[in-house]
Amino acid sequence: MANDELIDEIRGLIAEREELGIRGLTDHLGPSDWADIVPRLDDDEVAVLLASLPDSEIPEILEELDPANAAAILRLQPREDAADLLEAIDPDDATDIIAELPSEDREQILRAMEPEEAAEIRELSAYPPDTAGGRMTPAFVAISPDVRADDAVVLLRRVAEEAETILYVYVIDAAERLLGVLSLHNLVLTRPDTPVEDVMVSDPIRVKASADQETAARLLVDMNLLALPVVDEDDRLLGIITQDDVADVIEEETTEDFERIGGSQPLDMPYRFASAGLLVRRRIGWLLFLFLAGLLTSQVLEHYADRLQGAPALIPYIPLIIGIGGNVGSQTVTTLVRAIGVGEVRLSDVWWVLAKEMAVGLSVGFIMGLVGYLRVGFPEGFQIGIVVGATIMLVALWSATVAAVLPLVLERLGVDPAVVSAPLITTLVDATGLLIYMTIAGLVLLQM
């Protein structure tokens, strides 16, 4: 992309924002706009762009980029510059970026960094990236319980640049165990000579480093916190997870749920950067499994070959009937998997969910069955109409039932219910739907 086109692209983004009623961006794009633009540039253009930006903005842009992309930019820099950039980035983001570098580059850059900051990154690297420990930043402010409120404010002034958030100050004992928390808000509104232990909130909500990142993110949201302390097994304060991580975590996990419900394995990376080869690897497993499961439908139809030869008018409605099963199942399972995902439906709700979904399946089945009876009955005769109509009703009921029960059963077995994809439900009810069709056809048409 030429430089001019890049500028046009940036102007376009600003115009798009202004159309949406957003103002005040004319002079500065946000970090996430850069995250959007940078991956479209080649190496030379990135070099031009970085040279044209104030040095102070580059770390913030790297923080917003996908870590793999930020790592690619770092590799273009001399080792010393890369080390300086990493020092200016929040340690949690720096850890994610450095993990994307080949191990020799990683070691060289870490050795070029200030020993203290390099040590922070090495420590954070010990936690898996999808845990609270992997998400946390060690850039928090902690004080002992006997510090006075005004001294705490002085301290804050000193560390304000380094700490990721000074909205909360944590109070810890000599062994670094978490005792309490103070909001900046409280601190400012307190009499200067009060010791912080008199105004802190004791025994604050915390999460272990080994906890799942989604658990931590939902807790921040549910409790209306701006930051959540992360502790080790001995309750020592290790770091904090902040609000800006929440949106990332929830977006990541929701994207995974979307990919699963569509019948893929999660990509674990932005779609934009996923190669066709990766997409194939993430999709082919389920496709082959569903293909083999789909062979069951062939066996059902082969088993009933004579009946179909005897009543060939039944054949054209095969795709229609299995399509209805798939559509009802897909509606039910996406709604339910989401309701389970946001915590609205639990295992103990299985009975009312089942009753509700069966009532819905029966109702939509009745309506579509009636339409099917009339639509098929007039040209083909009402015996075929009855077979198709009754099958549609039962298939809708059956599909809704399977789609309502399966996610909750998996949840009970400790399997993420999001693996019950729409294609899986569709495939599962295809063969049984055909069995229903052939059985009803046998019952009705034998009387011909």
Instruction: State the minimum distance, in angstroms, from the CB of residue 212 to a copy of itself.
Output: 7
Residue closer to a copy of itself (CB basis): 95 or 264: 264
User: Could you tell me the smallest distance in angstroms from the CB atom of residue 132 to a copy of itself?
Assistant: 8
Give the phi and the psi of residue 78 in degrees, each rounded to 5.
-60, 150
Could you tell me the smallest distance in angstroms from the CB atom of residue 95 to a copy of itself?
19
Q: Pick the closer one to a copy of itself by CB: 112 or 274.
A: 274
Beta carbon nearer to a copy of itself, 98 or 324: 324
CB distance 145 to 195 below 8 Å: yes
Contact predicate 433/325, CB 8 Å = yes
Residue found under tokens 């949106």 = 247
Q: Least distance (Å) from a copy of itself to the CB of residue 53?
A: 17
Indicate the residue among 101 and 242 with the shorter CB distance to a copy of itself: 242
**Min. distance of Cβ 109 from a copy of itself in angstroms?**
26
Phi, psi of 24 (to 5 degrees): 90, 5
Closest separation in Å from C-beta 448 to a copy of itself = 19
Taking the least distance from each CB to a copy of itself, the nearer of 3 and 102 is 3
Give 139's contacts (C-beta < 8 A, 6+ positions apart): 90, 91, 162, 163, 164, 239, 240
Distances (CA, A) of 73 to 60, 63, 82, 102, 113: 13, 12, 9, 13, 17
Query: Number of C-alpha atoms within 13 angstroms, CB side, residue 26?
Result: 4
- Distance in Å, CB of 49 to a copy of itself, minimum: 19
Cβ atoms of 340 and 411 within 8 Å: the answer is: yes
Tell me whether residue 102 or residue 442 sits nearer to a copy of itself (CB atom): 442
* Distance in angstroms (rounded) separating the CA atoms of residues 23 and 212: 38
DSSP state of 54: -
Q: Quick one: tokens of 266?
A: 């999660």
The nearer residue to a copy of itself, 109 or 132, going by C-beta atoms, is 132
